[in-house]
Structure formats: C-alpha cells, structure tokens
Amino acid sequence: MKLKQIAELLEAKVLCGEERLDDNNDYCFSSDLMSDVLTLGDQNPIIVTGLCTMQTIRTCEMGNLEVVVFVRKKKPTPEMIELAEENGMILLSSDFSMFKACGILYQNGLKPLF
Amino acid sequence: MHFEYTVIEGDFVNAGSASSSVKKTLKQLNVSPAIVKRVVVALYEAEVNAIAHAYGGVVTADIESNQITMRVIDKGPGIPDIEWAMQEGNSTARPEVRDMGFGAGMGLPNIKKNVDQLNVQSTVGVGTTVEMIVNLC
C-alpha cells in the first residue's frame, strides 16, 4: 500500500518524509513496547505506536524501520522529527486510537508479520 | 578500527548514539544491511541496558575485516544471577525505563539472537562487561 493512502485512511498529518509518500509497504507492526520492535529480525514493516519518545525514533533507526505512524494524538518533538529526517524516515501522526488505526489498515489490506 | 563512546547513567535522550555511529560506519564499509541490523540491534540493546541499569560506562567497537567485536563495560551494580537475566521476561527495570518502551526482560535474550558470540561477565558491586562478536561476512 502506498504511504499516501495510509496517511489518507488515518487522516494523518505528515511530519516528515513527504517526498516519499509514493513508497509502498504492505506490512505493519503495532506496539508501544520498543523491546518488541527490536525483535522483528530482517523485516521492515510500518510501525504504528503510541509511544512518542526519542527512543521510538532511535529504535526504528536501529531496526531500519523507516515509516512510523504515531496514534492517540501523540506529537513528536522537533528534536525527534530532526533525528527522523537525518535518517530518511517518514513520520505520520494520527488522532485515531491504535485499535481504530490498525483496524482500518487491516481492513484495507495491510498485512501482519505474524 | 577502534571506536569508544561514553555512556551516562539515565541519559535516555542520547541512548543509541553509539549504536547509531557504528551503524553509519558499517554502512560506509558496505557491510550487508542484514548484518548491520543484527550488529546495531544487539549493540543498542546493550547500550540501553547500561543506561537503564548501570552507573554509566563505556561502549567500544573494534571493526576488523571479518568481524566486529563490541564491548559494553559498565561500572556496576552488577548482575547477581546472569542465568536469570538471560531468560526472556525477567527484568529489574525501573518504571521510567518501562516508560521509554523497554524493561520487558527481552534485552539480553535478543542480543543473544543477533550475535555470533556473546560473553557476559559480571561482579556484583564492580560491574558488568557484555562482549558481542558478529561475523561480517
């Protein structure tokens, strides 16, 4: 699915990486636990999270996870956005709950890793 | 190539900066992305552990043509039971560590999964050294 479509479905604001909205990713993983995000091995899904800290960005940097959707109206700080930009990441922010965001994405064809 | 970084207790804002620097170096050396990910996930877990649990320490990385050796050497308090700490789900993390998305007791087991050799040595009251080796080809 194109990231543009994901942003539209979740009524999300694009915080950085706007130039890459035509990129595709068909897999999604949602968690507020970065320890879990670090166990995904060589898979690089879209991350849906309500954990909005510098470590969210760092964890995704380490895991080559380039697309992060913040849910529950979480807004990253300018420092977090700057670090994401440095690493070529795409950050989206949606007001939807994690349940609603994941439900919509699943219904529209995004796949789980397991 | 030898790299050394200081880790400060509780400094979560900078947690991951050593791992990030190693990642950039390995990418410049054209190491395969899958191996880079294993290296930096392991190092990042160990770095976060040192920041979350220890009184600070150092991270070193030695890159040779065929392998990388990483050591996270902290100044204590030490791990009383390494076998217990290696089991998934066991954790002594404080609430602020959990608030950062860690402390689920998955760090050391995940390190083990990502490296080719792991050696954890710890003395209570002195400190812990986590040595991780990953083959680069």
Per-residue model confidence (pLDDT) at position B99? 87
Compute the count of residue pairs across chains A and B with CB atoms less than 8 Å apart: 66
pLDDT digits (tens, 9 = 90+) for B68-79: 999 999 998 999
CA–CA distance, B56 with A111 (Å, rounded to integer): 41
Strand pairing class (A13-16; A90-93): antiparallel
In angstroms and rounded to an integer, the radius of gyration of the C-alpha atoms of chain B is 14
Q: Cα angle vertex A53, ends A66, A58, to 5°?
A: 40
Q: Does A34 touch chain B if contact means CB atoms closer than 8 Å?
A: yes
pLDDT at B120 > cutoff 90:
yes
Spatial distance between the Cα atoms of B104 and A34, rounded to a whole number of angstroms:
9
Is omega for the bond preceding B95 within 30 degrees of 0, making it cis? no
Q: How far is A51 from chain B (nearest CA, A)?
A: 7
CA distance A82 to A79: 5
Question: What CATH number has the domain bearing residue B61?
Answer: 3.30.565.10
What span, in angstroms and rounded, lies between the C-alpha atoms of A29 and A47?
5
pTM, rounded to two decimals = 0.94
% residues pLDDT > 90 (chain B): 87
Is a pLDDT exceeding 90 seen at residue B20? Answer: yes
Residue B13 has pLDDT above 90, yes or no: no
Q: What is the pLDDT along chain A (114 residues), one digit of tens a residue?
A: 999 999 999 999 999 999 999 999 999 999 999 999 999 988 899 999 999 999 999 999 999 999 999 999 999 999 999 999 999 999 999 999 999 999 999 999 999 999
- Rounded Cα distance between A79 and A52, Å, is 12
Q: What is the ipTM of this complex?
A: 0.90
Q: What is the mean pLDDT of chain B?
A: 95
Residue B68 tokens read as 């990388």
Which residues in chain B are closer than 8 Å to A35, comparing Cβ atoms? 101-104, 106-107, 110
Q: Nearest-CA distance from B48 to chain A in Å?
A: 10
Name the residue range of residue B15's domain: 2-135
3-state helix, strand and coil shares in percent for chain A, rounded to the nearest 5: 35, 20, 40
Q: Which domains does chain A have, with CATH numbers?
A: 3-112 (3.40.1390.20)
B21 touches chain A (CB under 8 A): no
Number of domains in chain B: 1
Place of tokens 């790299």: B3
> Packing angle between helix B33-53 and helix A54-62, nearest 10 degrees?
150
**B126-133 average pLDDT score:** 97
Of A36, A53, A62, the CB nearest to B40: A62
Given CA atoms A81, A85, A87, A90 in this order, what sign does their dihedral have? positive
Averaged pLDDT for residues B30-58:
95
- Using a CB-CB cut-off of 8 Å, the residues of chain A touching B13 are 54
B104-109 contacts, C-beta under 8 A, 24 or more apart: B104/A33, B104/A35, B104/A36, B106/A35, B106/A36, B106/A38, B106/A39, B107/A35, B107/B45, B107/B46, B107/B48, B107/B49, B108/B45, B108/B49
